[in-house]
Amino acid sequence: MLTLLAQESFSHYGAVAVLIMMAVIFAVANLILTHLLGPQKQGKIKGMTYESGMNPVGSARRRFNVRFYIVAMSFLVFDVEIVFLYPWATVFPSLSEHSDLPIVFLGRMLFFVLTTVIAFVYAWRKGVFRYD
Amino acid sequence: MSAQFIASLIIMLVMLHVFLGSISYLILLERKVASWIQHRLGPNRTGLPYGAFIPGLPKTLWGLGQPIADAIKNFLKEDFIAPGADRILFILAPGLALIPALVGWIIVPFGGYLHLNGTNLLMGGAPLNIGIIFVLATGSLAVYGVVLGGFASNNKYSFLGGMRATAQMVSYEIPLGMTILTIILMYGTARADYLIEFQAGGVWNIIYQPVLAMMFYICGLAECNRAPFDLAECEQELVGGFHTEYSSMKFALFFMGEYFHMITSAAIFSLLFLGGWDIIPFVKLLPAMGEQTTLVWGIIAVLLKIGVFCGKITFLIFLAMVIRWSLPRFRFDQLMRLAWQSLIPISLMMLIMTGMVVFFGLNRWWLLPGNFLVVGIVYVLMPYLPKGPAVNRRVPLEGSRFCPPVAEA
């Protein structure tokens, strides 16, 4: 069974592998070609960072607002939830109606969503989504 | 070397070149749409003969030579790397932005199934059984190109653009994933070809779930960094956003990535909600999977299906262009509020509503009133939600001449 599945999947993923190879070759060829074809000149003023024509002030690699970090953290909560719900969604419609599996699966999903909703409400009350 | 692999390879190679060629013409179409909306002529000087006189051919062919001229110009421009930039990341970023965009569309079954010698051949990309999830996986990789491009440039505009783009793409990925999850829940499969076969000749999903389709379209626009969600590259505030410091073909690679994302999201929208290669809902015109046909009619049907699919993609991209040139851009707080405080709760409710319909084994037509029920619940609940402070209205800009007199605290 497993080997059969692997064989079937392999031939299907073959086209994906070819496409990934072609995409990488395309991107690398473009980057190399444009490097070779264009002129190359450096200069002190030319190498200055563009800041609307003013002399640049300080470095751009500095501390940034913590809000972006919090957004990324709350994204993780939801993304993990969605990833776990995909297998559930593919199985749920085809469960046998004569067993108690559907109600069990629905209960699990609702519990899972409930935990996320708690996190969501907490974040909302904390003002994570408030941008001023 | 199965027959399916060869079929996938042929369709993949053909469609890849069609898309790569059409991207440059999509940029021309975008400029033409802009000129049409703003009541001007748009690019119309560069004809196909490039100034050479060919008898019988007009010299300027509605600017049809413009994309090729642009591509050559991009190759010949200087490939400049600022001395302050992180060289490796700076070169890596455009490639990282382009490669995931080029890969994601492989699961789209353009031509449906061809019945050949008792086997069903999918005349489309690869028939992966993870299907739509593959698109989500490659789509989230696109963030890296943008954020690395912004970080490596050592430019404040680029940095801010990169941060904004990351926050935006990350936020809109959640409702996007939830809407796709809801569709998977309806049919119990993630395979793109099966999802189309379920809709073909019957009811399209946009009729069952109109509100969900609208949400998916909004999230698709935001994931492609398209207006009105193009805060990552808004010209008035950030010059060019994450590609401010980029020149030559590196700059063009970012744009190709963006347009490929548009093509992919239009294809996914049409396969999830518009019945893929189906011509009109409720009427069965083209053969479905496993149906016995003569070889000639089968091949004609495959070509028709590819044509219909490409027509739908073109229409959706045209719609995105019209939206870009008619709607103003969001502010950043509005953008984040739309994602976190409206799209995510509504998509959660949609998920639970669809789960209930599936659980009770109801007819799919119950999803339509269910959609409007969710909208009704939102309208009822809205006045009771906690409101933040009114943004940008009550903040007195002290010292400015527009400042109202501030009361002494």
3-class SS string, B32-50:
HHHHHHCCCCCCCCCCCCC
Record: contact B4-A24, CB cut-off 8 A: no
pLDDT exceeds 70 at position B401: no
What pLDDT was estimated at residue B110? 86
Amino acid at B31: R
Tell me whether residue B206 is exposed, middle or buried, using C-beta atoms within 10 angstroms of its C-beta: 0 to 12, 13 to 18, 19 or more: buried
Among positive and negative, which fits the CA dihedral B57, B62, B67, B72? positive
Q: Do A90 and B184 touch (CB under 8 A)?
A: yes
| Residue B278 contacts residue B198 (beta carbons within 8 Å) | no
Check CB contact of A43 with chain B, cutoff 8 Å: no
Nearest one of B158, B163, B166 to B243, comparing CA atoms: B158
Which amino acid, one-letter code, is at B51? G
B367-397 pLDDT, tens digit per residue, is: 888 889 999 998 898 888 776 655 555 555 5
Neighbours of B80 (CB within 10 A): 18
Question: Does the CB of B358 have a partner CB in chain A at under 8 Å?
Answer: yes
B71 touches chain A (CB under 8 A): no
Dist. CA A37–CA B365, nearest whole Å: 59
What percent of chain B has a predicted confidence (pLDDT) above 70? 91
Chain A contact present for B9, CB below 8 A: yes
- Nearest by CB to residue B184, choosing from A13, A71, A86, is A86
pLDDT digits (tens, 9 = 90+) for A25-66: 988 998 888 888 878 888 777 777 777 777 877 777 778 778
Residue of A nearest to B172 (CA): A75
Long-range CB pairs of B35-41, under 8 A, 24+ apart, other chains included: B37/B322, B37/B325, B37/B326, B38/B325
pLDDT bracket for residue B116 (50, 70, 90): confident
- The answer to whether the CB of B181 falls within 8 A of the CB of A85 is yes
pLDDT tens-digit readout, B1-55 = 577 778 888 888 888 888 888 888 888 888 889 998 988 888 887 777 666 666 6
Residues 98-117 of A with CB under 8 A from B: 102-103, 106, 109-110, 113, 116-117
- The count of C-alpha atoms lying within 13 angstroms of the C-alpha of B333, restricted to the half-sphere facing its C-beta, is 11
Residue by residue, DSSP assigns B198-221 as HHTTS--HHHH-HHHHHHHHHHHH
- Token duo for residue B261: 């994302």
Burial of residue B383, with CB atoms counted within 10 A of its CB: 0-12 exposed, 13-18 middle, 19 or more buried: exposed
Predicted complex ipTM: 0.85
**A63 and chain B in contact, CB less than 8 A:** no
**Per-residue model confidence as pLDDT tens digits over B348-364:** 999 999 988 888 888 88
**3-state secondary structure labels for all residues of B110-146:** CCCEEEECCEEEECCCCCCCCCHHHHHHHHHHHHHHH
Put simply, the answer to whether B155 touches A50 (Cβ < 8 Å) is yes
| Nearest of B222, B236, B259, B245 to residue B70 by alpha carbon | B259
> Which of B103, B151, B245 lies closest to A50 in CB terms?
B245
Per-residue pLDDT at A82 exceeds 70: yes
Cα–Cα distance for residue pair B46/B391, rounded to 1 Å: 47
A96 lies within 8 A of chain B by CB: no
Smallest Cβ distance to A82: which of B78, B159, B178? B178
| Structural tokens at position A15 | 């086209």
**Cβ of B372 under 8 Å from any chain A Cβ?**
no
The residue ranges of every structural domain in chain B are 77-339
Contacting residues for B108 by C-beta, under 8 A, at least 6 apart: B124, B125, B192, B264, B267, B268, B271, B309
CB-based contact (8 Å) between B102 and chain A?
yes
User: Could you report the per-residue pLDDT of B122-146, keeping only the tens digit for each?
Assistant: 777 788 888 888 888 888 888 888 8
- Which residues does chain B have within 8 Å of residue A106's beta carbon, measured at their own beta carbons? 355, 359
Chain A with chain B: Cβ pairs closer than 8 A: 208
Which residue among A15, A94, A103 places its CB closest to the CB of B126? A15
Is a pLDDT exceeding 70 seen at residue A21?
A: yes
